[in-house]
Every structure is written in C-alpha cells, then in structure tokens.
C-alpha cells in the first residue's frame, strides 16, 4: 500500500501570533512572505475568523501546498 503525500503542519504555541508562528515555522522566508504563505494555505482559519489572524491552540496550520516541500 502506498501512502498519499502529506502536508507539513504545526499548531500554535501559547500566545503565538501569526507573525511569531510564521517566523518559527518558515524561517527560510522573510517574515512578510511567510505570513502570506500561511494565510494563503489556511483559508479555513483566516477567512471568517474575527479578530483577523487570531490563532487558537487547536488550529492545525498547514505549512505547504499538497505535493510541495
């Protein structure tokens, strides 16, 4: 049986902001680019959430597109 490709993910640490999570999870990117990648890959978190960019401890934050490292 062949396993399907998996996406990298993380969960927020206590008191994480979107910026701190982006810096920790995607350190190879500049901060603005990392934040935009995370927003784009996680519409399920950021599209309707108020206040904007609020992270909850139970969020599963995707770090890449399916099939990309």
Residue 21 lies in a domain: yes
Task: Please check whether residue 52 lies inside any domain of the structure.
Answer: yes
What pLDDT, in 10s, does the model give residues 7-32?
889 999 999 999 999 999 999 999 99
Q: Is 68 a residue whose pLDDT tops 90?
A: no
**Pairs from 45-54 (Cβ < 8 Å, separation ≥ 24):** 53/17, 53/18
User: What pLDDT is recorded for position 69?
Assistant: 58
Which DSSP string do the residues of 5-27 spell out, in sequence order?
Answer: P---EE-PPTT--HHHHHHHH-T
- Does residue 49 lie within any of the structural domains? yes
CB 41 within 8 A of CB 65: yes
Total domains present in the chain? 1
Is 4 domain-assigned?
no
Would you say residue 68 lies in a domain? no
Q: Is residue 1 part of a domain?
A: no
Backbone angles phi, psi at 61, to 5 degrees: -100, 115
**Structural domain harbouring 50:** 9-62
- pTM (2 d.p.): 0.82
Give per-residue pLDDT as tens, 45-66: 888 888 888 899 999 999 987 6
């Amino acid at each position: 049986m062949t396993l399907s490709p998996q996406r990298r993910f993380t969960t927020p640490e206590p008191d994480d902001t979107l910026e701190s999570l982006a810096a920790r999870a995607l350190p190879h990117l500049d901060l603005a680019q990392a934040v935009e990648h995370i927003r784009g890959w996680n519409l399920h978190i950021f599209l309707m959430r108020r206040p904007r960019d609020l992270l909850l401890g139970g969020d599963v934050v995707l770090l890449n597109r399916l099939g990309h490292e």
